[in-house]
Structure 1
Amino acid sequence: MSDDYSKLIEEVQKKNKILEKALEEAEQANMAKTAFLSNMSHEIRTPMNAIIGLYNIALKNPDLPDETREILNKIGGSANHLLSLINDILDMSRIESGKVIVKKQDFSFGDMLEQINTMVESQCDDKGLEFVCHINGHVDDYYIGDDMKLKQALINILGNAVKFTEAPGTVSFLVEEIKRDKKNGHICFKIKDTGIGMDEDYLPKVFEPFSQEVEGASNKYGSTGLGMAITKKIVEMMNGTIEVESTKNVGTTFTVTVPLGISEKLGSGDEFDPGKIKTLILDDDVTACEHAQLVLGRIGIAADYCLSGKEALSIIEKSKARQEPYQLFLVDWKMPEMDGIQVTRALREDYKDESTTIILTTYNWDEILDEALKAGVDAFLAKPLFAGSIRKEIKEIIADKRKRYREAAKVSLKGRKVLIAEDMEINALIMKQILKMKEIEADHASDGLEAIKLFEESPVGGYDAILMDIRMPKCDGLKATERIRKLEREDAKSVPIIALSANAFDEDVELSIKAGLNAHLSKPVEPDALFSALQKYIK
């Protein structure tokens, strides 16, 4: 009996060793796959950076013949399509290899929606589409979850809605907390378009990789065929669900429901008396007015609302006659008859004193920033409104601080000096040409050690920013940044250092931030993204 028992133990030990060896080999294979994906991402993005960079530079030439400009636009479109395909393939590979981890951390729900809406509203404007975003009922300012992954999934769906909808169409984005338990708020995102729609027979295949209803759709619409497969996997990793309804030539509706942890984090504390702030909301959308009224009520501000500029001016005149003037105006930008900027000009004729605040509400204000500020707008808020962001703006105004958007408008990049750390000569030349668009001067270091040396030898404040490649010989960008941050000079810790890297994975971004970089831009870098980052971090 004891011999049989010994043989059984030996057999079990042998099997355990076989399993341990198999597990070790699997882990090594997984590590090799991750290393391969990272290297492939870097190697492909490096030439793509040159192609897209040169395309952007060439397109800025005002003397280009129309035929040449058309050819360049086709090159740029093809390059961006190839880049999106590369990104999707890498994302899919990482998800399937189990290398994608869903984070659980506090994040600003309002900030996430603002970033999504800014991007989508701009895309809709380019195509002549109407974009609307509404929040039904109450949602928290903060939740616990992975906002980056959630944002990626929602942008994939919204991007498809824009892509497959022709003008004059509509893309709508509805957000609602439909259920709450002890740990989670269950958030429903409903994305509806008036686009080409899909046949009912095709709907079960919509989430399959490389699946397209019509042959040639990739060429016509620039689709990679992986976006919805990735989206479904991300939603499922977050323990959520995704459903689709569609009618051919009528439109499509995607419904995503995701549980997000309930956060104890609140918006900025109140340092003002909200009960004394008489407020008027102006928006031609009654749902948006009611939502803004609800949000303001949460922070103790009672507000009236009206649906047109003419009605607003009439209400304001009556309030002044009763010696009950408004202190705060939330004015929508896009309205018929009188838009938000025209209303602001009219308001400023009557309200010239510093105690009156006009906030413009919109999805994206980049194109009207200067005009709005000149008209008398004090600040901007992204729609849909959140108590935390409104509270923050009012707090800054009452504390007599400069508005961050006004400051951003005044930051000039002309004459600034930047250090480029880049081991590839072609990339450095392209970056210098891009910086010249804003009349920014640039020095070039061919590796990390040279970058450290040039910074050390420069006068304090000599460089307004450093653009740092990550993979370089002698000393990589992460080590170079760490060494610069440790230098004993005034500007060592404050000089903005921005990664321009072909390393584009989440862990690459985390390594950059940990090393002391301010931001991480993945190659190929769009000029607008670069200039926006420089404006944000240069003081």
Structure 2
Amino acid sequence: MNIISNAVRYNKEKGEILLSYYETQVDDRHILFEFHCKDTGVGMSKEFQNHIFEPFTQETGGARSVYGGTGLGMPITKKLIEKMGGTIKFESEKNVGTTFMVQLPFLISADMKQAESQEDDVSIEGMRILLAEDNELNMEIAEFLLTNAGAEIIRASNGKEAVEAFAKSGVGEVNVILMDIMMPVMDGLEATREIRTMNRSDASAVVIIAMTANAFTEDKTKALKSGMDDYLTKPLESEKLIRALSRFL
């Protein structure tokens, strides 16, 4: 935070600050994060650069001197980074700007490795999904996420179309129905009840998952009581969506 604070404090009017980071896996147990903070500020003189990490040291006689400070920020920052096993470097040019580079190593825990391994195993490849969504943009986003993960999509723009699409499909052809709750013509709750009462063997077994912007317990209870199996809140996140679907494979 001290590095970013300095980038703001010593920047020029209408100046810029660019933050970026990179990660490199060193070995099976360690990963290295590198953070960059680049500003278009007043920069530092060559002389001051040699003393920046010394306590109570401040540049005098230049643009930086008007901002004040204790002169302890950078020494403390360097100490903290070194205690974490990291390094801090910088490049600066007077009246051009400064870039700080911080490298921090982290240990990859066994739990993280296990989680990553489990994520790799998650797949909805070949899953046939009936997607009921009245908002065209939401439809496009959900369809992109799902088809990108290998699923096949049947589209419906309201609850009535979802009921008709399921009725026209072969028994067992639809694996999951993603059902928006708030839709015109027929809402998702009513559409779910219609599907559940159809006279076909998969009507009670097909997985129906609610999609809604409402995250209240009351809404979730209504969805489950209507016959839905699960409940997702919008905006949909790729990882959560695919993980929820994979539970029903």
Which interval holds the TM-score relative to the shorter structure?
0.5 to 0.7
1:444 equivalenced with 2:155 (yes/no): yes
Higher relative CO (CA 8 A, sep ≥ 6), structure 1 or 2?
2
Conserved 8 A contact 1:127-1:166: no
Find the counterpart in structure 1 of residue 195 from structure 2: 484
Q: State the aligned residue count.
A: 154
- Name the CA shift for 1:474/1:369 in 2 (closer, same or farther; >3 Å): closer
| Match among 228, 233, 242 for residue 522 of structure 1 | 233
Q: How does 1:10-89 map to 2 (within 5 A)?
A: none
1:365 equivalenced with 2:114 (yes/no): yes
Distance, in Å, in 2 between the alignment partners of 1:468 and 1:510 is 15
- For normalisation by structure 2, the TM-score amounts to 0.55
Q: How does 1:317-356 map to 2 (within 5 A)?
A: 334=109
Find the counterpart in structure 1 of residue 170 from structure 2: 459
Q: What is the deviation of 1:468?
A: 0.3
Q: What is the deviation of 1:484?
A: 0.8
Give the 3-state SS of the residue equivalent to 1:456 in structure 2.
helix
1:475 equivalenced with 2:179 (yes/no): no
Q: What is the deviation of 1:127?
A: 8.3
Q: What is the deviation of 1:369?
A: 3.2
Distance, in Å, in 2 between the alignment partners of 1:505 and 1:167 is 46
Give the 3-state SS of the residue equivalent to 1:488 in structure 2.
coil
Distance, in Å, in 2 between the alignment partners of 1:365 and 1:439 is 24
One-letter code aligned to 1:453: E
- For normalisation by structure 1, the TM-score amounts to 0.26
Give the 3-state SS of the residue equivalent to 1:455 in structure 2.
helix
Q: What is the deviation of 1:478?
A: 0.7
Q: How does 1:153-192 map to 2 (within 5 A)?
A: none
Q: What is the deviation of 1:507?
A: 0.8
| Match among 503, 511, 523 for residue 214 of structure 2 | 503
**Runs of at least 5 residues in structure 1 that lack an aligned partner in the other structure:** 1-69, 72-124, 129-164, 170-332, 340-361, 372-408
One-letter code aligned to 2:203: A
The share of aligned pairs that are identical, in percent, is: 38
Find the counterpart in structure 2 of residue 418 from structure 1: 129
Distance, in Å, in 1 between the alignment partners of 2:212 and 2:156 is 15
- Name the CA shift for 1:506/1:486 in 2 (closer, same or farther; >3 Å): same
One-letter code aligned to 2:200: R
- Name the CA shift for 1:484/1:167 in 2 (closer, same or farther; >3 Å): farther
Q: What is the deviation of 1:168?
A: 7.4
- Structure with bigger helix share is 1
- Name the CA shift for 1:364/1:493 in 2 (closer, same or farther; >3 Å): farther
One-letter code aligned to 1:504: A
**Runs of at least 5 residues in structure 2 that lack an aligned partner in the other structure:** 1-18, 21-30, 35-79, 85-107
Conserved 8 A contact 2:123-2:242: no
**CA deviation map 1:180-209 (0-9, x unaligned):** xxxxxxxxxxxxxxxxxxxxxxxxxxxxxx
Distance, in Å, in 2 between the alignment partners of 1:370 and 1:458 is 31
**CA deviation map 1:312-340 (0-9, x unaligned):** xxxxxxxxxxxxxxxxxxxxx94xxxx7x
Q: What is the deviation of 1:425?
A: 1.5
One-letter code aligned to 1:368: S
Distance, in Å, in 2 between the alignment partners of 1:442 and 1:412 is 15
- Structure with bigger strand share is 2
1:531 equivalenced with 2:242 (yes/no): yes
- Name the CA shift for 1:126/1:436 in 2 (closer, same or farther; >3 Å): farther
- Name the CA shift for 1:461/1:127 in 2 (closer, same or farther; >3 Å): farther
Conserved 8 A contact 2:142-2:236: no
Conserved 8 A contact 2:125-2:149: yes
Distance, in Å, in 2 between the alignment partners of 1:535 and 1:485 is 22
Give the 3-state SS of the residue equivalent to 2:205 in structure 1.
coil
One-letter code aligned to 1:481: T
**CA deviation map 1:184-241 (0-9, x unaligned):** xxxxxxxxxxxxxxxxxxxxxxxxxxxxxxxxxxxxxxxxxxxxxxxxxxxxxxxxxx
Give the 3-state SS of the residue equivalent to 2:210 in structure 1.
strand
Distance, in Å, in 1 between the alignment partners of 2:183 and 2:191 is 10
CA RMSD of aligned residues (A): 3.3
